[in-house]
Chain A
């Protein structure tokens, strides 16, 4: 019984880790673009269009992270076991 609980816990941990990956990616892309926009201002090489497109690109990653999280929460919350409980 204790082994089964440990296994369930480790599986849930791995699942959480797999979801965390997309948030790490989204955060990394955001930090990358903040860095690049900062450098472009420093060297006076910025264009409004490039900055606007960069913001759109970053938003895409956050939406993808949101969709994956929605699926993760939806699947765990609405499983038959949870609904019966």
Chain B
């Protein structure tokens, strides 16, 4: 990793750190205003209680838990793109990994706050610490999300060290911060080796941790006897949904920052086409799990389960259910299976549809089951209040703000990985191809370009 040879070539990657346009400030102010409004509404809720929300009996979970599951789900973007593609040595991952890892870090914080907001009295989270029950899926959840957040943060930080060292060497503002965070990195061979080893360990560790996180979140529902929840398929269903929403969110973020910071030379159309293909595969997988889940319910025809089923398919929640199917299956299949529609615009449209659809999926899973419990209550009604809507808006605004803040301190695209790719990838890929492909005296061995 020669720090100076390609400095001018990749200068654009450092530009967001040193130059800030009026658009950035305008957007940051608007987002900060939304976050502030959300904070005011939360303080209102803290003072006046959970009566400020639409939650009631029997629908005791609403927007907050929906958003909790949604945001934690998006965190799988980092794991899939960064860890799995790194593990499989997919070279096209290089400009994408940093953004994916940053998404993971930010959404885990935002998602993790939602159960505390949902509690009403935030001090009650200490009960989990003081006298939590080991058999409770809520405690498992707290543990797995903490482990995932720790692992993801370290997994974001370690590959960031060489770029922090570059920023330190360039001088300028935050010089002291970069000096501290660079941990003395100066590009020696043994340092590179130490970093590479640590990244290799983490990319293997983070995958089962990520899978466990969303499996355990699904068990918060699956381990209950609520109709519509008590299903063995929930674990893999939630993991597939999480990866699906994660890829979609990553595509949206990539397109936005590509446009804002003119990164067309780094985030090329081919990256989006590959991610679009992954999105298509996940769409089909999602549909398979959804179909299996509802077919099993319908075939069993248990009365409590069918009440929930009818509520979703033909009842009050039917518009949201079918909108979810359109967003998560129809639009992705139409746009991504058709070469003419699989353009940047098409992929962006699909990604936005998927993000909306996956939020709706969490709504469809949570509220109808609570509204139709086994006990003979009349069907529950849930209407989100202004407090809940504003906190959802604040969460989304906080996510965007967090990303913008990161872009002001560190490069959004991994500079050292791009330089390494230019220098060493062709040789590495050629060596690998020569290992995979059969040799024959009639076929020339692939030579390095």
Contacts and interface: CB of A to CB of B under 8 A. Distances in A.
Interface of A: 11, 14-15, 18, 22, 25, 29, 32, 35-37, 39-40, 45-47, 50-51, 53-54, 57, 60-61, 63-64, 67-68, 70-72, 74-81, 83
Contacts of A54: 134, 143
A79 B186 contact: yes
Interface string B127-169: 0011111110001100110110011001000100100000000
B176 interface: yes
A35 B139 CA distance: 13
Contacts of B24: none
Nearest to B208: A60
Contact of B154 (A11, A45, A67): A67
**SS of A interface (majority):** helix
Interface of B: 129-135, 139-140, 143-144, 146-147, 150-151, 154, 158, 161, 176, 179-181, 183-188, 190-191, 193-195, 197-198, 201-202, 205, 209
14 contacts: A18-B180, A36-B133, A37-B134, A47-B135, A51-B134, A54-B134, A60-B151, A63-B205, A64-B147, A70-B198, A71-B161, A71-B198, A74-B191, A78-B191
Contacts of B130: 35
Contacts of A83: 188, 190
Contacts, number: 101
B151 A45 contact: no
A70 B188 CA distance: 16
A11 B179 contact: yes
Given A47-B134, A83-B190, A76 B183 contact: yes
A71 B194 contact: yes
A60 B209 contact: yes
A50 B135 contact: yes
B191 A36 contact: no
Contact of B133 (A14, A40, A60): A40
A50 B134 contact: yes
| Residue in B143, B180, B195 whose Cβ sees the most chain A Cβ within 10 Å | B143
Nearest to A57: B143
A66 to B, nearest CB: 9
Nearest to B192: A78
B194 A29 contact: no
Nearest to A53: B140
A79 B134 contact: no
A47 B187 CA distance: 50
Contacts of A39: 131-132
Nearest to B143: A57
Given A29-B143, A45-B135, 16 more contacts: A11-B180, A18-B181, A35-B130, A36-B132, A36-B139, A45-B133, A46-B134, A60-B147, A68-B154, A68-B158, A71-B161, A75-B184, A75-B185, A75-B195, A79-B184, A80-B187
A61 B147 CA distance: 7
